[in-house]
Amino acid sequence: MKKFSVLVLGIILLFVTACSNSAISTSKNTKSNPDDGSNKETETIKIGMTSAVTGPYSEYGEGNKRGVELAIEKWNENGGINGKKIEVEILDDQLVPDKAANNIQQLLADPEIVAIIGPAGSGPGLATVPITEAKGMVHMNIVPQTIEVTYPNGTDQAPRKNVFSFALQNDVEANVLGEFAGEHWEKVGLLHESTAYGKSGMDLIANILEKDFNKKPVAREEYNQGVSDMTSQLSKIKNAGAEVVVVVGLGADLANIKKGMDRLGLDVPLVATNGALSLPYLEGAGDLVLGTIGSMIGALGKDPLSPEAQEFADAYKEKYGVDRYWGNDENNPQLFMSLNVANAYDGANVLFEALKNAESTKSEDIIKALESIQDFKGVNATYSFSETKHHAISEEALDLFEYVKEGDKIKLAPYKK
């Protein structure tokens, strides 16, 4: 009996180990000859990627995966990079920093991989950049908003040599929200989630309010992600006489904040980070979202879309249809796609462009080629990099949007004062 139990345990352990690091290898290699593979190196260009493909944050990981795959398909259909087809190996980290770091080690062990597309989330981002930096491997940062991923000593200092960011950096979002709140209201109430993202983002906003407008927030409160009731936070903000509530947080929590504000009769505008434009907020708060103002990369809100954004939207719709990522409006992709699909699509396209220009797969050559990219038109922005500037999304790419009612439908419209 005991032996049997040990045997069963052994088999279970084996199974768990085998499943734990499942790689999703999406080979876009054409039906190449199944020869010995000796000339494979010359036929393909391979990149590695780790992201939260499954788990609670798969909205980002799966979205990023789709973005990268769309870009690869586009390039491969047009003959690849200088005649070489592109291939990607994607590992799943579920947004767990340790897993992401392990995945990166595993990817770096493959000599064929020439560049890395980084994980979603600031935690995994910060856990992986030191590894790629030590090896000098090109690292495209797609989602993590924390500045330190790209600029370890602040934006006024040199960036990490190997990291190029397509993320909406915390400081950029904070600048836009801080300026907006400072210009329009005297008494500002602040509320943020208790994560690094929430705290650091709110520090930046509070800083702008104090420095640029000489305004001290009347209240600053925090909450844990996923909490159901924020009465104490909102009551304090209400008691302080706030004329606006500025929030750094995710969509589902924003829905609870908005419901709480409604119940407590805290009838002031809600201004929030990009979570305000996510589906969980709209679904969770329903009609209450009206009037909420959120900041977001404006590219997919333009009418008409830029040719690049239109091409991306068409390609996405053709491959995946109108789904959760696309959003409720059949004709227009939702703005949030800029943060989970289009960013990865742009990152991959810029990387491939640099690989094409570099005509080499050596890291130094790719970095040089990336730093020489100027006015490359992508979906989210027009990209220009230099030795000192390794991030792409700046304040100009950001717009403020407001929920408005059009007939029976709730829509996001560019904010007009």
Partner 1 sequence: MSSLQFALELIFTGLCVGAVYSLIAHGFNITFWTTKVVNFGHGPFIMFCSMIVLSFLMKGLPWIVSIPIGFAIIVIIGLILERVSVRPLLKYPTSMGWIVSTLGVGLFLQALASKIWGAQALAFPPFIFEATDYVSIFGIRLSAQYLLVLVMALVIMMLMEMVMNKTIWGKAMKAVAHDPNFARVMGIKSKIVITLSFMISAFLAGVAGILIAPIYGTITPEFGMNIMVLGFVAAVLGGIGSSKGALFGGLLLGVIEKLVGGYISTSAEHGVAFLILIIILALKPDGFFGVKVVQKV
In the complex, which residues of this chain contact partner 1 (CB under 8 A)? 54-59, 194, 221-224, 226-229, 231-233, 235-236, 238-239, 251-252, 255-256, 259, 262-265, 280, 283-286, 288, 324
Q: Which is nearer to partner 1, 90 or 348 (CB)?
A: 90
* Residue 48 or 61 having the CB closest to partner 1: 61
Neighbouring C-beta atoms of residue 307, cutoff 10 Å: 9
Compute the distance between CA of residue 87 and CA of residue 80 in angstroms, rounded to an integer: 10
Nearest approach, Cβ of residue 34 and partner 1 (Å): 34
**How far is residue 27's CA from residue 46's CA, in Å, rounded to a whole number?**
9
Nearer to partner 1, 63 or 294 (CB): 63
Could you tell me the smallest distance in angstroms from the CB atom of residue 85 to partner 1? Answer: 32
Nearer to partner 1, 121 or 159 (CB): 121
CA distance 219 to 322: 42
> For 104, phi and psi rounded to 5 degrees?
-65, -40
CB 59 to partner 1: min, Å: 6
How many other C-beta atoms are found inside a 10 Å radius of the C-beta of residue 172? 23
Residue 61 sits at the vertex; the CA angle it makes with 306 and 77, to the nearest 5 degrees, is: 50
Q: What DSSP string runs through 216-235?
A: --SEEEEE-TT-S--HHHHH
d(CA 197, CA 29) in angstroms, rounded, equals 38
What's the min distance (Å) between Cβ of 92 and partner 1? 12
Cβ–Cβ under 8 Å, residues 341 and 66:
yes
CA separation for the pair 314, 379 (Å, rounded): 12
Q: How far is the CB of 223 from partner 1 (least distance, A)?
A: 6
What is the C-alpha to C-alpha distance for residues 149 and 196, in angstroms, rounded to an integer?
13
DSSP state for residue 84 in the 8-state scheme: B
Give 44 or 58: the residue with its C-beta nearer to partner 1.
58
CB of 262 to partner 1, least distance (A): 5
Q: Which pair of tokens denotes residue 190? A: 């602040």
Instruction: Report the alpha-carbon distance of residue 215 to residue 206 in Å, rounded.
Output: 9
Yes or no: say if 193 and 225 are a contact pair by the CB < 8 Å rule: yes
Nearer to partner 1, 57 or 326 (CB): 57
Torsion of CA 404, 407, 408, 412, to 10 degrees: -30
If the CB atoms of residues 261 and 351 are measured against partner 1, the closer one turns out to be 261
Alpha helices in 154-230 (DSSP H): 170-184, 196-213
What whole-number distance in Å separates Cα of residue 113 and Cα of residue 292? 44
Asked whether 325 and 66 are in contact (CB, 8 A), the reply is yes
Nearer to partner 1 by Cβ, of 319 and 324: the residue is 324
Q: Which is nearer to partner 1, 16 or 109 (CB)?
A: 16
**Least distance from C-beta 109 to partner 1, angstroms?**
29
CB of 102 to partner 1, least distance (A): 20
Q: Count other Cβ atoms within 10 Å, centred on residue 109.
A: 9
In angstroms, what is the minimal distance from the CB of 294 to partner 1? 17
CB of 182 vs partner 1, minimal distance in Å: 24
Closer of 219 and 348 to partner 1 (Cβ): 219
118, 162 Cβ separation under 8 angstroms: no
